[in-house]
């Protein structure tokens, strides 16, 4: 039975919510005017000015709606709050086919649905007239109020270096909070659950997270939660299920979270939290065994098993849902890249960095001088340099603070490398995996161990004291489960992922606020990191130099389908790396200057920064001038080069390869074509290049390698015919802009 204290709380809470509803009454919202059959007035990937997110109500006053002209999500608020529509306005298709709870929670061992409606007669589709007859689940948490506002500043972003000119943070759009409380006879009435949504301007992306507020006098435990459950229209109606053949899952949604780790790809990094499952309620599906993967469930595989003290709140991770309007690979990739620029714009920072393999302060100062002279923007003491970021020696820290100040006086950022995952510490500080599992990199310290807590505290103290600007965190926590109790920070298996992820991301958010640039070989973008690896095989940098050039452009071509150029780093072995001897090494730089320049232009011409790893950036005045020339060329075209890539022809060493950079929002240029010739002879060729994603129509002005612009008419399909000539082993470029 609920105590009198609980009953008094419920009455007070309802009174408070009542006053909140006065300010957030459904009737106060404007009626949505856009019909589901109305198509967007323009392609949002070219011009998204029309796509403004706002809150509305329907004409009948029954539904609360979030709409930005690209996607629409709607909720009935009576007899309980439930999402009853998720529509793709770009195609006119419904994404949702069945109503599910807003969330699911297990609190102190008691399962709760949060909101939702029951009684749908057929789960293959959803009719408005059915909704009028559907009922609230008497055991579910009940809706008590809502509030409409603006998107939050999820992470504080210290902006200290160049980034995309159109970056906006926090993103513009609309936010919605739905509040729920348990049924009066549940025995746990002294809590409130808030379900949050954000819909952004300009992109078909919605964000969701939940909060549990403990308003009782006793602690509670959030054992498990489902942050999102959507019964999605299936991709295909396969009649049978056969071993070894997976039924395709819906392809209209891209879903990821900021609770991501353990992979260079979004799929691998979210495998433990994004689940496409069968739907036991969908009895009318075509598949005989009802195994169609058509129910999205976003929940952590373990835990989180988090205790919430009286007066405190638990906040889940954030889930981001991107709606596609096409099955075409490039278009889907451009949509995903636009999403990242919207919800994590720090990924557009892209400093040109020398990875120095020495930590002698005088050598570092010389490297800073060299960087300044050729236009590089940062020096990182790389792995193998001997630098110790974990030192607490006061003289050591002061010495490096002085060096950082010297770098700052030259306009150069200074950073260093630190290894976490794959280390073995011993003395009970390492992760102990559940039976049948092992750490991702064979060994891994526990972030919740005494050593792990000290490690992260030392890193924070180091950056706060020295003023270093960059952090290369090799192998951040990869999601390894630890069965070891490490009280009070970790109880064991069920909460170990959450507790360790929280420690890592708290540091990343602190560094992001301070403006520290974070390289991390894992998918921590949405939690504050700037860059992950583009995707390459490390031992390939021990191949002969000519092979490395082709692999560079292949890796970038493959890696930029879903990443912006600034999101992935590459590698340039100025000194020997993984063997290969003299045939694989760029040093002596002056003896291999043509190769050095090819690697510079292969990376910078595709908008990508590499780890230029070695003892120096140049060794002679000639080398210095060649490097400086390429860097100046890159900076002259930087805005367009760091814009999205439209993939032309992948490098294979047999013919020209090329990419087109596009950005309709830039004033100076909306497109730049970079063409590479891997052959030993000059190549003249006709190329037909589609300029659609530049936004240029009718005619364009073209500049060939910086020459005066010439006006050219486009072909009827929006492409342009070009006569190009590319020197042996070299490159050429053409810039496209609108006709004034």
Output the domain CATH number for residue 119: 2.70.98
Q: For residues 659 and 604, is the Cβ–Cβ distance under 8 A?
A: no
Please state, as a whole number, how many other Cβ atoms lie within 10 Å of the Cβ of residue 581: 9
82-to-20, 114, 348, 547, 634 alpha-carbon distances in Å: 19, 9, 37, 56, 51
Predicted confidence at residue 37, as pLDDT, reads 86
Please state, as a whole number, how many other Cβ atoms lie within 10 Å of the Cβ of residue 529: 27
At 187, is the pLDDT very low, low, confident or very high (cuts 50, 70, 90)?
confident
Q: Span 106-127, mean pLDDT?
A: 97
Closest by alpha carbon to 210, among 223, 230, 192? 192
d(CA 177, CA 466): 41
> 185 versus 554: which is more confidently predicted?
554
Residue 236 has pLDDT above 70, yes or no: yes
Give the three-class secondary structure for 389. coil
Residues linked to residue 3 through DSSP beta bridges, in sequence order? none
The tokens describing 15, both together, are: 């009174």
Predicted confidence at residue 188, as pLDDT, reads 77
Residue 22 has pLDDT above 60, yes or no: no
Residues linked to residue 136 through DSSP beta bridges, in sequence order? 117
Q: For residues 376 and 628, is the Cβ–Cβ distance under 8 A?
A: no
Residue 15 has pLDDT above 50, yes or no: no
Helices marked H in 231-296 — which ranges? 266-269
Q: Of 308, 343, 378, which residue sits at a domain end?
A: 343
- Residues 6 or more apart whose CB falls under 8 angstroms from that of 245 comprise none
d(CA 510, CA 518): 11
Predicted confidence at residue 612, as pLDDT, reads 98
Predicted confidence at residue 21, as pLDDT, reads 39
Q: Of 322, 343, 364, which residue sits at a domain end?
A: 343
> 296 versus 18: which is more confidently predicted?
296
Q: Span 388-413, mean pLDDT?
A: 98
For residue 109, the 8-state DSSP code is: T
d(CA 511, CA 528): 8
pLDDT digits (tens, 9 = 90+) for 349-369: 999 999 999 999 999 999 999
Please check whether residue 333 lies inside any domain of the structure: yes
Domain count, the chain: 2
Angle separating helix axes 394-409 and 450-466, nearest 10 degrees: 40
Please state, as a whole number, how many other Cβ atoms lie within 10 Å of the Cβ of residue 588: 13
Please check whether residue 409 lies inside any domain of the structure: no
Closest by alpha carbon to 17, among 168, 129, 178? 178
pLDDT digits (tens, 9 = 90+) for 510-556: 999 999 999 999 999 999 999 999 999 999 999 999 999 999 999 99
Predicted confidence at residue 174, as pLDDT, reads 99
Q: For residues 484 and 471, is the Cβ–Cβ distance under 8 A?
A: no
Which residue, chain included where needed, has tokens 């003299």? 582
Please check whether residue 558 lies inside any domain of the structure: no
- Portion of the chain with pLDDT greater than 90, in percent: 95
d(CA 363, CA 380): 12
Helices marked H in 225-292 — which ranges? 266-269
The CATH number of whichever domain residue 648 belongs to comes to 2.60.40.1180
Q: For residues 294 and 223, is the Cβ–Cβ distance under 8 A?
A: no
d(CA 638, CA 605): 9
The tokens describing 127, both together, are: 């009719």
Mean pLDDT score across all residues of the chain: 96
Q: Beta strands of 578-698 (E only): which ranges?
A: 610-614, 644-649, 657-662, 671-676, 683-690
Output the CA torsion sign for 371, 375, 379, 382.
negative
pLDDT digits (tens, 9 = 90+) for 124-167: 999 999 999 999 999 999 999 999 999 999 999 999 999 999 99
Which residue, chain included where needed, has tokens 């990343």? 508
Predicted confidence at residue 514, as pLDDT, reads 98
For residue 599, the 8-state DSSP code is: H
Q: For residues 255 and 274, is the Cβ–Cβ distance under 8 A?
A: yes
Predicted confidence at residue 5, as pLDDT, reads 30
- Portion of the chain with pLDDT greater than 70, in percent: 97
At 667, is the pLDDT very low, low, confident or very high (cuts 50, 70, 90)?
very high
pLDDT digits (tens, 9 = 90+) for 701-733: 999 999 999 999 999 999 999 999 999 999 999
Give the three-class secondary structure for 331. helix
Please check whether residue 622 lies inside any domain of the structure: no
Predicted confidence at residue 24, as pLDDT, reads 57
Please check whether residue 658 lies inside any domain of the structure: yes
Please check whether residue 689 lies inside any domain of the structure: yes
Phi/psi for 408 (5° steps) reads -60, -35
Domain, as residue range, for 653: 642-738
Q: Span 53-75, mean pLDDT?
A: 98
Q: Of 343, 378, 408, which residue sits at a domain end?
A: 343
At 36, is the pLDDT very low, low, confident or very high (cuts 50, 70, 90)?
confident
**Pairing mode, strands 683-690 and 671-676:** unpaired
The tokens describing 715, both together, are: 């072909």
Please check whether residue 289 lies inside any domain of the structure: yes
d(CA 708, CA 647): 26
Residue 12 has pLDDT above 80, yes or no: no
At 184, is the pLDDT very low, low, confident or very high (cuts 50, 70, 90)?
confident
Q: Span 282-306, mean pLDDT?
A: 98
Residue 1 has pLDDT above 60, yes or no: no
Residue 568 has pLDDT above 90, yes or no: yes
Please check whether residue 489 lies inside any domain of the structure: no
Q: Which of 7-11, 258-262, 292-296, 344-348 has the lowest mean pLDDT?
A: 7-11
DSSP letter for each residue of 430-490: B--PPTT---TTS--B-TTSHHHHHHHHHHHHHHHHH---EEEEES----------BTTTB
For residue 18, the 8-state DSSP code is: H
Phi/psi for 633 (5° steps) reads -60, -45
pLDDT digits (tens, 9 = 90+) for 410-443: 999 999 999 999 999 999 999 999 999 999 999 9
Judge if pTM exceeds 0.75: yes
Predicted confidence at residue 9, as pLDDT, reads 35
Closest by alpha carbon to 202, among 334, 347, 349? 334
At 588, is the pLDDT very low, low, confident or very high (cuts 50, 70, 90)?
very high
């Amino acid at each position: 039975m609920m105590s009198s204290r609980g009953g008094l709380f419920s009455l007070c809470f309802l009174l408070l919510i009542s006053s909140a509803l006065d300010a957030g009454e459904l009737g106060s919202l404007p009626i949505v005017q856009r019909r589901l059959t109305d198509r967007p007035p323009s392609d949002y990937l070219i011009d998204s000015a029309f796509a403004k997110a706002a809150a509305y109500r329907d004409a009948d006053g029954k539904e609360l709606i979030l709409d930005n002209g690209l996607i629409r999500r709607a909720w009935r608020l009576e007899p309980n709050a439930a999402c009853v529509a998720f529509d793709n306005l770009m195609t006119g298709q419904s994404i949702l086919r069945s109503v599910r709870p807003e969330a699911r929670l297990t609190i102190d061992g008691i399962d709760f649905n949060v909101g939702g409606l029951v009684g749908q007669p057929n789960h293959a589709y959803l009719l408005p007239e059915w909704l009028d007859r559907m009922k609230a689940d008497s055991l579910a948490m009940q809706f008590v109020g809502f509030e409409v506002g603006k998107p939050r500043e999820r992470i504080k972003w210290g902006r200290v270096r160049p980034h995309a000119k159109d970056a906006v943070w926090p993103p513009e759009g609309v936010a919605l909070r739905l509040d729920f409380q348990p049924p009066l006879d549940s025995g746990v009435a002294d809590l409130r659950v808030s379900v949050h949504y954000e819909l952004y301007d300009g992109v078909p992306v919605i964000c969701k997270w939940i909060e549990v507020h403990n308003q009782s006098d006793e602690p509670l435990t959030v054992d498990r939660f489902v942050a999102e459950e959507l019964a999605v229209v299936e991709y295909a109606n396969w009649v049978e299920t056969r071993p070894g053949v997976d039924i395709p899952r819906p392809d209209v949604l891209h879903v990821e979270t900021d609770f991501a780790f353990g992979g260079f790809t979004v799929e691998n990094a979210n495998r433990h939290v994004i689940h496409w499952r069968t739907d036991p309620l969908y009895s009318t599906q075509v598949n005989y065994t009802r195994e169609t993967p058509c129910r999205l469930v976003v929940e952590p595989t373990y835990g989180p098993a988090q205790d919430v003290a009286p007066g405190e709140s638990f906040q889940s991770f954030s889930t981001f849902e991107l709606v596609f309007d096409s099955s075409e690979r490039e278009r889907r990739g451009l949509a995903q890249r636009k999403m990242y620029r919207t919800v994590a714009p720090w990924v557009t920072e892209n400093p040109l960095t020398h990875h120095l393999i020495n930590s002698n302060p005088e050598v570092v100062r010389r490297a800073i001088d060299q960087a300044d002279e050729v236009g590089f923007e940062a020096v990182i003491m790389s792995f193998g340099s001997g630098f110790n970021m974990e030192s607490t020696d006061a003289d050591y820290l002061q010495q490096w603070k002085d060096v950082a100040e010297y770098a700052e006086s030259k306009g150069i950022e200074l950073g260093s490398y630190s290894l976490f995952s794959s280390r073995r510490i011993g003395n009970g500080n390492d992760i102990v995996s559940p039976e049948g599992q092992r750490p991702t990199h064979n060994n891994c310290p526990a972030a919740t161990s005494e050593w792990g807590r000290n490690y992260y505290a030392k890193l924070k103290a180091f950056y706060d004291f020295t003023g270093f600007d960059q952090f290369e965190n090799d192998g951040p926590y990869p999601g390894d489960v630890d069965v070891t109790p490490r009280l009070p920070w970790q109880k064991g298996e069920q909460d170990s992922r959450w507790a360790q992820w929280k420690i890592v991301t708290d540091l990343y958010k602190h560094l992001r606020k301070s403006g520290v640039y974070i390289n991390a070989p894992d998918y921590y973008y949405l939690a504050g990191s700037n860059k992950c690896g583009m995707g390459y095989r490390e031992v390939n940098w021990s191949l002969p130099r000519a092979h490395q050039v082709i692999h560079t452009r292949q890796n970038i071509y493959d890696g930029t389908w879903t990443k912006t150029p600034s999101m992935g780093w590459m590698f340039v072995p100025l000194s020997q790396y993984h063997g290969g001897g003299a045939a694989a090494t760029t040093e002596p730089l002056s003896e291999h200057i043509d190769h050095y320049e090819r690697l510079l232009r292969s990376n910078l011409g595709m908008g990508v920064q590499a780890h230029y790893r070695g003892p120096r950036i140049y060794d002679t005045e000639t080398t210095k001038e060649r490097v400086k020339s390429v860097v100046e060329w890159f900076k002259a075209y930087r805005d367009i080069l760091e814009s999205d890539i439209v993939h032309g022809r992948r490098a294979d060493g047999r013919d020209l390869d090329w990419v087109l950079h596009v950005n309709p929002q830039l004033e100076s240029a909306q497109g730049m074509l970079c063409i590479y010739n891997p052959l030993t002879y000059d190549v003249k060729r006709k190329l037909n290049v589609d300029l659609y994603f530049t936004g240029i129509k009718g005619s364009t002005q073209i500049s060939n390698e910086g020459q005066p612009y010439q006006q050219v008419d486009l072909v009827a399909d929006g492409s342009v015919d070009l006569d190009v000539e590319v020197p042996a082993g070299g490159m050429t470029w053409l810039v496209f802009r609108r006709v004034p």
